[in-house]
Amino acid sequence: MLFAILFLTCLYNYSQENVRPKTQPSQFLENFYYTVNFGGILYPFSNDNLIDGYQTETFSKNYFSGKLGFGYKIKENLALQFGVIRPASWFKYDNVNNIGYERSVWINAWYLSLKKSINLNKKLSFFAEVGGANITRSGFSIEEKIIYEDAHFGSFLYGFGFNYKLNERWRLALNGTFFPKSKKHNQPSISQTSFGFEYHLQKIDEKLALEYENDKKYFFPKNILQVSYGNSKIGFGANRFFGMSLKVGNFESFGIPVFWVGDVKASHSFSVTYQRLAFRTQKLFSLDWGVSITAFQTEATNESVFAFSIFPTMRFYLLRKEGFDMYANYSLIGPTFLTKSNIDTLETGPKTTFQDTMGLGVFFGKQRDYNFELRIMHYSNGNIFTKNSGVAIPIQFTFGKTF
């Protein structure tokens, strides 16, 4: 919902582009911020959650987790927040009944909350958070017998923490977030402690905004048209690394938990993407809106699927040189329509889903007319539903033209 509002806002910005410079956020965006946090999560599953006759003496737990979200400031010290909390890898019951069965239980929580801040001094503030969450749990079966059932339910959420203001744009955040136990759904409580940052878009002086927009020193493309191709022969190493599921030596989950993989694997993929600038800072950051069409063929059953998406893209410029500008981009929760559901006989959920992309690229040429990018993609419903196998698109080689 938040991204649908953001997308419509970008369309409004487009219609008003002769009035507002791109270096000045719209009325909506000037109250907008995003937050990225990592930390520890506790979800004390045990043998008590399993049906009678099934148990294990050992469990595999990974406490590392993430909390990613977006916020909108209703007032200076009151904000509406939307985001997701999930562990980096799933809780595992090892060697169930001592006969070699290993089964995982995964949980995921999408939340919507109100955040109230109280200033302690000019830099430090205390905040309290309260709201609701959509919790999805995927249990497991053994020989078609359900040992721990799936669950999908609403939950109360509360939390508190501290913000430290580095400047008008950047704030450090220390968070504690809690979900109570649900006896009805056989779900233990969930607690997370995390540390990260908030980035707040800021309105600047009108003269300065015009100065930034007319400054030709830093390149920002107004429009990009891209074509992409990917092949699974290159492997899914990048997807697994950024989904923290890459196997390296004795590590079962090596990597960084900032992306997702998916049980459905695409053997071939082809995409056409258009992006348009919505907002930019002087040098380092831009926000685009985009539309794309992706066709992919699956590895397991050679199914052909089309995906039609709209999405926001955050672009961070990492290096600016005489011959090129290097950037990383990240796009989450782009509303998508797939032409098929339950792909490769797996339960991927409904046709209406979301697209996520992550890439590293360059603009090059004398006028930065051309673009090359390496991109990974993912389709899933974000674990809003218990059936969410997900689709993994391996590295796509992307070529683009700016105008």
- Report domain extents, the chain: 25-200, 213-402
The residues pairing with 126 across neighbouring beta strands, listed in sequence order, are 118, 162
Structure tokens at 253: 């989950």
8 A C-beta contact, residue 200 and residue 193: no
Residue the block writes with tokens 């090596």: 254
> Residue 327: its pLDDT value, please?
98
| Count of CA atoms in the C-beta half-sphere (13 A) of 69 | 28
> Model confidence over 297-337: pLDDT tens digits?
999 999 999 999 999 999 999 999 999 999 999 998 899 99
> Residue 26: its pLDDT value, please?
81
**What's the CATH number of domain 25-200, 1.10.8.60, 3.30.70.270, 3.40.50.10950, 2.40.160.20?**
2.40.160.20
> Residue 60: its pLDDT value, please?
86
- Summary mean pLDDT of the chain: 89
8 A C-beta contact, residue 337 and residue 356: no
Q: Let me know if the fold of 25-200 is the same as that of 213-402.
A: yes
> Residue 5: its pLDDT value, please?
46
Higher pLDDT, 231 or 12: 231
- pLDDT over 90 (residue 356): yes
Q: What is the average per-residue pLDDT within 65-94?
A: 90
Q: 28 falls in which pLDDT band (50, 70, 90)?
A: confident
- pLDDT over 80 (residue 15): no
Higher pLDDT, 234 or 382: 234
Taking the CA atoms of residue 276, residue 282, residue 285 and residue 290 in that order, the dihedral angle to the nearest 10 degrees is 0
Q: What is the average per-residue pLDDT within 138-157?
A: 91
Higher pLDDT, 39 or 384: 39
> Model confidence over 173-211: pLDDT tens digits?
999 999 999 999 999 999 999 999 999 988 888 888 888
For 166-284, list the strands marked E by DSSP: 170-179, 190-200, 223-231, 246-248, 251-254, 264-280
> Model confidence over 102-120: pLDDT tens digits?
888 988 899 999 999 999 9
| Percent of the chain residues past pLDDT 90, beyond the cut | 62
> Residue 19: its pLDDT value, please?
66
The reported pTM is 0.75
Taking the CA atoms of residue 323, residue 242, residue 197 and residue 8 in that order, the dihedral angle to the nearest 10 degrees is 80
Instruction: State the DSSP string of 155-180.
Output: EEEEEEEEEEESSSSEEEEEEEEEE-
> Residue 339: its pLDDT value, please?
95
Radius of gyration of the chain (CA): 22
> Model confidence over 224-263: pLDDT tens digits?
999 999 999 999 999 999 887 888 877 767 888 788 888 8
> Residue 109: its pLDDT value, please?
92
Q: What is the average per-residue pLDDT within 334-343?
A: 92
**Least confident interval from 21-35, 101-115, 170-184, 376-390:** 376-390
Higher pLDDT, 161 or 94: 161
- pLDDT over 50 (residue 274): yes
Q: How far is CA 267 from the centre of its chain?
A: 23
Whether CATH 3.40.50.620 fits 213-402:
no
The angle subtended at Cα 380 by Cα 378 and Cα 386, nearest 5°, is 145
Q: What Cα–Cα distance (Å) separates residue 359 from each residue in 61, 70, 327?
A: 30, 20, 8
